[in-house]
């Protein structure tokens, strides 16, 4: 375990601070009169709540090898993200649970995985089967949630943080939301064409988020009444957005930030195996997807997006470019806001592991260098 100190500008306060750590844990984070280098910034690591794969590794494998998962974890860390929710997508339920048991067992056996995988995100199979709303998920595998599904999910995951994305218009979905919330599972609504009333009822039953707004819906929507307008009118909900400039157009991205309350938005990569990897063909479960030089992940022969090739650090700076705000603001939406939804410690507190990012960036929001430290050292 390492010890040390650093003086830098604090990402959130924009003031000079001195960070000290001993034996790999933070001992103090205090203001200082010493002026840091003009472009050296200290920030908590990024937290990504939707990662389907990374660096050529698909998490949707029945027997995902430990070395592949470790590779993905390390490449995510190099991209600024030290904690994430490993995401499993729509499949036959018993197969989904078998995969979840497998990756949870891998995490328990390797401390490096345990430190990085903060919990689990299960996206499906309780989603809308309507064309467009099902996205790249297999509509034939969609089903209605039952109490047995929800209890089994909690049993398999123990006390781990869990995020469950479902569509509230499915039969018995509202009861499933209420049961899941009572068991400590965070429920996010998504891939849905639920009415405004169904959305409100889901929130009243315990749903607390909406998954990748602007996606999981048809490319063409009714201009008078659609899922975007309905979500914009909701209160008390956190909303995830993919900040790659592809899944949500820059204009809609800006409108989301104007319409939704401050602090309600958090960013996710929705990364699949192509993220952090070369263009070409990459797998997402049983799908073989095409990823071009433009980093757009497409279902072969369709215009449908299927996950993203976004690295978390790139998401921060693409959001900055789209919004025309300092990168320090967008960093919060990919760290503190994400951690808050799942009840995770945002980091940089005395006693926490000395996990932090050192960012060199220009006043014009150009990233010059990123260094990620874990337990006070470069891994």
CATH topology of domain 45-346: TIM Barrel (3.20.20)
Question: How far, in Å, CA of 267 to CA of 319, rounded?
Answer: 9
Output the CA–CA distances (angstroms, integers) from residue 323 to 7, 14, 198, 269, 317, in the order listed.
29, 19, 31, 17, 10
If you search the block for the tokens 């499993």, which residue do you land on? 88
CB-based contact 239:216 (threshold 8 Å): no
Strands (DSSP E) found in the chain = 4-10, 16-22, 25-31, 40-43, 46-51, 53-54, 57-58, 81-89, 117-123, 162-166, 186-189, 209-210, 238-241, 265-267, 280-284, 287-291, 297-298, 356-361, 367-373
Backbone φ and ψ for 102, nearest 5 degrees, come out as -65, -50
Q: 97 is written with which tokens?
A: 């649970």
Dist CA 153 CA 186 (whole Å): 12
DSSP state of 214: T
Closest CA to 367 of 358, 375, 377: 358
What's 73-120 look like in SS3?
Answer: HHHHHHCCEEEEEEEEECCCHHHHHHHHHHHHHHHHHCHHHHHHEEEE
Angle at 129 between CA 125 and CA 131, to 5 degrees: 140
Class of domain 1-43+348-379: mainly beta
Burial bucket for residue 14 (CB in 10 Å: 0-12, 13-18, 19+): exposed
Q: What confidence score (pLDDT) does residue 284 get?
A: 60
**235 exposed, middle or buried (CB, 10 Å; 0-12, 13-18, 19+)?**
exposed
Query: Which DSSP category does 345 fall into?
Result: -
- For residue 316, give the nearest of 17, 81, 35, 110 by alpha carbon: 81
Neighbours of 343 (CB within 10 A): 11
- Alpha carbon dihedral 173, 243, 46, 278, in 10-degree steps, equals 110
Q: Which pLDDT belongs to residue 276?
A: 63
In 3D, which of 227, 201, 52 has the Cα closest to residue 187? 201
Strand-pairing partners, residue 47, are 83
Residue spans of the domains in the chain: they are 1-43+348-379, 45-346
Position 294 scores a pLDDT of: 62
In three-state secondary structure terms, 17 is: strand
Residue 19 per-residue DSSP state: E
Could you list the pLDDT tens digit for every one of the 379 residues in the chain? Answer: 689 999 999 999 999 999 999 999 999 999 999 999 989 999 999 999 999 999 999 999 999 999 999 999 999 999 999 999 999 999 999 999 999 999 999 999 999 999 999 999 999 999 999 888 888 888 999 999 999 999 999 999 999 999 999 999 999 999 999 999 999 999 999 999 999 999 999 999 999 999 999 988 888 888 999 999 999 999 889 999 999 998 899 999 999 999 999 899 999 999 988 776 656 655 565 666 666 666 666 566 665 666 688 999 999 999 999 999 999 999 999 999 999 999 999 999 999 999 999 999 999 999 999 999 999 998 8
- With a CB cutoff of 8 Å and minimum separation 6, the contacts of 129 are 139, 140, 142
């Amino acid at each position: 375990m390492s010890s040390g100190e650093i003086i830098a500008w604090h990402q959130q306060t924009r003031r000079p601070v001195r960070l000290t750590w001993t034996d790999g844990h933070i001992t103090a984070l205090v203001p200082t009169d010493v002026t840091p280098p003009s472009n050296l910034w200290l920030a908590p690591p990024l937290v990504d709540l939707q990662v389907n794969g990374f660096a050529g590794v698909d998490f949707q494998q029945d027997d995902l090898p430990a070395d592949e998962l470790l590779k993905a974890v390390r490449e995510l860390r190099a991209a600024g993200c030290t904690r994430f929710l490993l995401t499993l997508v729509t499949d036959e339920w018993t197969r989904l649970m078998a995969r979840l048991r497998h990756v949870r067992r891998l995490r328990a056996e390797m401390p490096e995985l345990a430190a990085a995988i903060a919990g689990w995100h299960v996206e499906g199979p309780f989603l809308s089967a309507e064309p467009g709303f099902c996205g790249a998920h297999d509509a034939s595998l969609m089903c209605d949630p039952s109490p047995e599904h929800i209890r089994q999910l909690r049993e398999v995951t123990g006390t781990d943080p869990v995020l469950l994305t479902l569509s509230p218009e499915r039969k018995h979905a509202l009861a499933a939301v209420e049961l899941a919330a009572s068991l400590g599972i965070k429920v996010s609504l998504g891939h849905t064409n639920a009415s405004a009333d169904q959305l409100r009822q889901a929130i009243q039953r315990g749903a607390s988020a909406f998954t990748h707004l602007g996606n999981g819906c048809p490319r063409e929507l009714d201009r008078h009444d659609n899922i975007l307008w309905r979500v914009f009118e909701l209160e008390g909900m956190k909303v995830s957005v993919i900040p790659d400039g592809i899944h949500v157009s820059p204009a809609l991205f800006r409108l989301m930030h104007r319409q939704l309350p401050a602090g309600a938005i958090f960013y996710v990569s929705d990364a699949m195996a192509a993220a952090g990897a070369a263009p070409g063909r990459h797998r997402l479960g049983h799908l073989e997807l095409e990823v071009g030089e433009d980093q757009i992940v497409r279902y072969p022969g369709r215009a449908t997006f299927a996950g993203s090739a976004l690295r978390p650090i790139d998401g921060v700076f693409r959001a900055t470019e789209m919004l025309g705000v300092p990168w320090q603001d967008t960093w919060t939406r990919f760290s503190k806001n994400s951690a808050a939804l799942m009840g995770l410690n945002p980091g940089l507190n005395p006693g926490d592991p000395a996990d932090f990012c050192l960012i060199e960036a220009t006043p014009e929001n150009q990233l010059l260098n990123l260094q990620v430290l874990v337990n006070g050292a470069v891994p």
